[in-house]
Amino acid sequence: MKINSNYLNLEESYLFSTIARKIEEYQKENKDAKIIRLGIGDVTLPLAEEVIKSLHKAVDDMADKSTFKGYGPEQGYGFLRDAVRDYYGSYGAKLESTEIFISDGAKSDLANILDIFHIDNRVLVPNPVYPVYLDTNIMLGRNVTFIDANMENGFLPLPDESIPADIIYLCSPNNPTGAVYTREALQKWVNYALKCNAVILFDSAYESYIVDKDLPRSIYEIEGAKSCAIEFNSLSKTAGFTGTRLGYTIVPHSLVFEGVSLNKLWLRRQTTKFNGVPYVIQKAAEAVFTEEGQREIRANIEYYRENARIIAETLDSLGVWYTGGKNSPYIWLKAFDGMTSWEFFDYLLREANIVGTPGAGFGANGEGFFRLTAFGNRENTIEAMERLKRLRNRA
Ligand SMILES: *Cc1c(COP(=O)(O)O)cnc(C)c1O
């Protein structure tokens, strides 16, 4: 028996374990320090009331012979696929229900989608990046090509005609940088993909944080995208489903490569290797897309958005360079005084008792940058920003 030795090529990620250890050590020596964590990459507010009601009712359905559900359709119940279709339709992305595949989250789909592509494809991944895109390719033995996101391009790289690609990862609003592509910029990526017959894997997990009407929430708002892009979305950050688990992947019927429909391949992959999301969770998700559900999840998103605004406003007043914070729960800032990401981490922990995430943990181009998130509570966010101002004005 031989193992998949590609796994040995993965870089061990010490990012979050190192952060945890540093916090623990600091707290041990400074028992009274009130540490504020703005590094959280997870939601903190509970599920909306409508969602809980629907969840309870669905549990009761399972207790009654006449409403009990066994195996459902692998690609999701019609009621939920229709709800997602209408949600996209509400902001101008026209889809069919059969183009929408319900899953247990965007992370697994982003990994599983690679099943339907040949190993020889050339993969383009932005740097810095959500580590899943990179690691899932390494696990298959693929080398990837990085495309530089940096201060010069506002962490929103555009296609480079001299770099050939077959599979292109894009994430907007971006994790970790919070940067959001404009329509014009996304149009350039779509045109490039169409020209070189590539597929774009578009991660829109933070789409619901976009309020600026000029910014695209789905790649399908861009002309030509339905012939070159697969979109991955999730209720994790939109409706607090990180622990409840529900995502969806959109594979348009017009995606045809080598005469083969990607929708058909993905359907075959899912029906063979996946047995669907629990009925009760799909009913909970259905409630997210009702009028009342939307009103309630909006209130939670606005709570996080206000935290982001408070952080962004503070950085503005201090003259600190950053991306994100406006149509995203993430703020990606330049470390003070030319510090490295980890030097800045230690400095903030020691001098202001604030914890964030070192940008270097997301790739080489993250060095010298730092991620703060809006997922903390309001009081702590305000307090952290007061501390940051005092620290900066003291320096
Ligand atoms: C949180 C997140 C997701 C969502 O993952 P789930 O598996 O649906 O929880 C997808 N992409 C990015 C970039 C994320 O940060």
Q: What is the 3-state secondary structure (H, E, C) of 70-124?
A: CCCCCCCCHHHHHHHHHHHHHCCCCCCHHHEEEECCHHHHHHHHHHHCCCCCCEE
* Cα 191 to middle of ligand 1, angstroms: 26
How do residues 182-195 score in pLDDT, each as one tens digit? 999 999 999 999 99
pLDDT in the model for residue 255: 98
* Cα 234 to middle of ligand 1, angstroms: 7
Residue 240 has pLDDT above 80, yes or no: yes
> Count of CB atoms within 10 A of residue 380's CB?
16
CA distance 245 to 102: 11
Residues with CB under 6 A from ligand 1: 105-107, 130, 171, 175, 203, 205, 234, 236-237, 242, 247
pLDDT in the model for residue 109: 98
pLDDT in the model for residue 13: 82
pLDDT over 90, % of the chain:
97
Residue 95 has pLDDT above 80, yes or no: yes
pLDDT in the model for residue 394: 83
pLDDT in the model for residue 14: 84
232 with 204: CB under 8 angstroms? yes
pLDDT in the model for residue 318: 97
pLDDT confidence of 271, banded at 50, 70, 90?
A: very high
Closest CA to 186 of 230, 218, 149: 218
223-244: average pLDDT: 98
328 among annotated binding-site residues: no
pLDDT in the model for residue 275: 97
CATH superfamily of 5-46+293-394: Aspartate Aminotransferase, domain 1 (3.90.1150.10)
163 with 145: CB under 8 angstroms? yes
pLDDT in the model for residue 48: 98
pLDDT confidence of 363, banded at 50, 70, 90?
A: very high
Residue 47 has pLDDT above 90, yes or no: yes
341 among annotated binding-site residues: no
Q: Is domain 49-291 classified as CATH 3.40.50.150? A: no
> What are the residue ranges of CATH 3.40.640.10 in the chain?
49-291
- Dig out the tokens for 131 from the structure: 């580590």
Nearest CA to ligand 1 atom 2: 205
Length of the chain in terms of residues written: 395
pLDDT in the model for residue 357: 97
30 among annotated binding-site residues: no
Q: Compute the half-sphere exposure of residue 268: CA atoms within 13 Å on the CB side of its CA.
A: 8
pLDDT confidence of 40, banded at 50, 70, 90?
A: confident
pLDDT in the model for residue 254: 98
For the chain, the average pLDDT equals 97
CA distance 262 to 116: 8
If one compares 257 and 91, the residue with the highest pLDDT of the two is 257
